Amino acid sequence: MANHAIIYRLYPTDSQKLLLTKTFGCCRFVYNRLLSVQQERYKNGEKHLSRTHANNFCNRQLKPAYPFLREVDKFALTNAIYHLEDGYQRFFKHLGNFPKYKSKRKATKAYTTNSTNENIKIGEQYIKLPKLGRVKAKIHRKPKEDWLLKSATVREFGDGTYQVSVLFEYEEVSVLTAPVTEEQVVGLDYKSAGLYVDSNGKCQNMPGYYRMAQMKLAKKQRKLRHKVSGSRNYQKQQKRIARVYRHISNQRKDYLHKLSAAIAKQYAYVCVEDLNMRSMSNKGFGNGKATLDNGYGMFLAMLDYKLKERGGKLVKVDKFFPSSQICHCCGCRNPKVRDLRIREWICPDCGAVHDRDTNAAINIRTEGMHLLAA
């Protein structure tokens, strides 16, 4: 079985917005109360509450003590409890940090509800959700008939817009693996000043949406500085700033989706370096803003699933592979090229002239083909 999510834009009424705000608050309240209970039980030497016992505690003690919890969707509260338990399990397995309390101002405003007895339904211009009823939505795409609706996650963004991510489950159809031929394989070398350079010598740049909007952002943030913190006008200006950030994010996603789709249609196998983009964005490299603006990590994630859908694969070469230092013509290694300031170099053995990025992309492609053949 495989999962697929479709995201729709929501346009709730004022009464629906109020109920959504209550639901976000109740989920945060239950999460924080259960976190306090678990910590108190640990201090007293009591056993950690499982998912089932934590849910029973919410139904038998929290809801009678706090009647406002009955006003919202019960599945939203249950999923908030499960979310906390998932955090504990990741912590126990040393896969994450200890769960933290959710802040009213900083926490993501979102909740998940489950599908049962057709309580979630996608109509022509609406989506039916538990407690909310029919919510006006932009239905740009319909699921396939054999897809089973599993859950829906509603989220509010900082600019006041809403969206719902509807999760479907379906039987995965086996896709024939594409043959590994030279025409079907391409290598990509990351370029912080743009996006990448491929093994064919093509340099793909990014528009730099954040940098394009910097002047506009600076103007709006200066206005925010002169308003009284916490006032109504202060909150309005915060939404204006959030709207700009959301627009930048949408522009970047749209550009990368189209670019990754074009590559997945042209090639079956894409070879890249297995880079740690979080480390690349650190201030020590001096290019953190450019690294975050081009969204290379998001681009690789898009490439990964789009290639798999077509029977291809994203091949990741080890990040310590000296792709820039090896001459792709004769295989000679030149340690001097380790200096990032060297953009072109001449092979000391064969005399070939290399562009640093193009040569690295060709070597990544060659190494990727070796990994595919292994």
Q: Is residue 335's pLDDT more than 90?
A: no
Q: Which residues contact 323 (CB under 8 A, 6 or more apart)?
A: 189, 273, 317, 359, 360, 361, 363, 364, 367
* Residues 23 and 76 sit within 8 Å (Cβ to Cβ): yes
For residues 248 and 207, give the distance between their C-alpha atoms in angstroms, rounded to a whole number. Answer: 11
For residues 197 and 185, give the distance between their C-alpha atoms in angstroms, rounded to a whole number. Answer: 14
**CA dist 202 → 152, 195, 264, 355 (Å):** 41, 11, 16, 12
Mean pLDDT of the chain: 91
Choice among 85, 156, 189, 198 that is catalytic: 189
Least confident of 70-74, 89-93, 286-290: 286-290
279 vs 209 pLDDT, higher one: 209
**CA dist 371 → 269, 297, 350 (Å):** 11, 21, 26
Choice among 73, 156, 198, 273 that is catalytic: 273
For residues 48 and 63, give the distance between their C-alpha atoms in angstroms, rounded to a whole number. Answer: 21
Task: Look at residues 309, 351, 291, 3 and name the one whose alpha carbon lies nearest to residue 174.
Answer: 309
pLDDT of residue 82: 95
Q: Is residue 42's pLDDT more than 60?
A: yes
For residues 57 and 63, give the distance between their C-alpha atoms in angstroms, rounded to a whole number. Answer: 9
Q: What is the CA radius of gyration of the chain?
A: 25
* Residues 183 and 158 sit within 8 Å (Cβ to Cβ): no
Least confident of 111-115, 154-158, 182-186: 182-186
Residue 304 catalytic? no
Q: Is residue 341's pLDDT more than 80?
A: yes
The per-residue pLDDT for range 275-325, each reduced to its tens digit, is: 887 777 775 566 677 778 888 889 999 999 999 988 899 999 998 898 888
State whether the Cα torsion 93-98-101-106 is positive or negative.
negative
Residue 189, class by beta-carbon neighbours within 10 Å (0-12 exposed, 13-18 middle, 19+ buried)? Answer: buried
Residue 14 catalytic? no
For residues 346 and 139, give the distance between their C-alpha atoms in angstroms, rounded to a whole number. Answer: 56
pLDDT of residue 60: 92
Tokens, residue 87 = 């955090």
Residue 86 catalytic? no
For residues 276 and 270, give the distance between their C-alpha atoms in angstroms, rounded to a whole number. Answer: 18
